[in-house]
Structure 1
């Protein structure tokens, strides 16, 4: 073995040991870093399933594929008042327990039609935490979808201000 191959292998091993911890996600933590919200991995997965139920994937990408749950978390963390942030986290934990009480299962384990029926039943409940949480989540999900790269580049066809010229337009 010569010196160059030994140094090369040593550098590969050193680089691998530096990069390997970055490849593994610590279980229990949220995907993105937030300053005001404290969300664990289970709550993030619940929010991802809720966003996917609000905007399901079909021939267009759904909420989970567009990572709208991360958009919702970041918007609530950065742009909402501390009262809204507290109501959001309280509503997130209450949402899962309310789903267990009403439907008998966690929201994540429900089938799609039962999820939709559960979300439609949220309009008549008296629990303000769940209503406020669902309202914030729904509004930010729709905002994230309409501002996503997919919608802005593939669905909307933008024309400059004067528009195109149509010489055959009838004047009546």
Structure 2
């Protein structure tokens, strides 16, 4: 199975679509992307960890921070994304901080989990509207929150805690069973 097919399958399991820019970056990960050392600052790492953990918080299963999704996001962004995408990502983190300051007069890292959720919910609504706009053209840059959300989902559901605790997981699957009963509330399968 090719990487693109695996990522698409994870997206289908999650009931979401991975953006074309994220899929493209994951497929062409060759280590030839320009290294962006701004991604490795303590402030950036903390911000990425908290944004990811707000997207997938700890509940009865570990959240994004416990799955070290922030490390995955920074590695993928630094090793696989073009310079323009890296810059969009970093400017997006600044925009999240600006939105926090505008709404709550505090930096994102100083907000309560409920306030963080409120800020990111508004930004996600903005992302959806941006993606559905009528004047959208091929080649337009993605919304700055798109890569953060996509990479959080991919990083989490391909991590050990995400695959084994948030999804149903069978270490060595048996024969193929095409029709397995599903009860409302059952977890999706990781394998």
**TM > 0.5:** yes
Residue 35 of structure 1 aligns with which residue? 35
Q: Over residues 52-86 of structure 1, what are the superposed CA-to-partner deviations in whole Å (9 max), with x where a residue is unaligned?
A: 11111122111111111111111111222221111
TM-score scaled by length of structure 1: 0.65
* Higher relative contact order, chain-length normalized (CA < 8 Å, sep 6+): 2
**1:87 is aligned to 2:60:** no
TM-score scaled by length of structure 2: 0.59
**1:157 is aligned to 2:169:** yes
Q: Does the CA-based 8 Å contact 1:107-1:115 persist in structure 2?
A: yes
Determine the C-alpha separation between the residues in 1 that align with 2:50 and 2:99: 16
Q: Alpha carbon RMSD of aligned pairs, Å?
A: 2.6
Residue 137 of structure 1 aligns with which residue? 148
Q: Over residues 85-123 of structure 1, what are the superposed CA-to-partner deviations in whole Å (9 max), with x where a residue is unaligned?
A: 111112222321232122211111112222111111112
Determine the C-alpha separation between the residues in 2 that align with 1:60 and 1:93: 29
Residue 54 of structure 1 aligns with which residue? 55
> Which blocks of at least 5 consecutive residues in structure 1 are unaligned?
1-33, 164-172
Residue 126 of structure 2 aligns with which residue? 124
Bigger Rg, which one:
1
Residue 108 of structure 1 aligns to a residue whose secondary structure is helix
Q: Does the CA-based 8 Å contact 1:43-1:93 persist in structure 2?
A: no
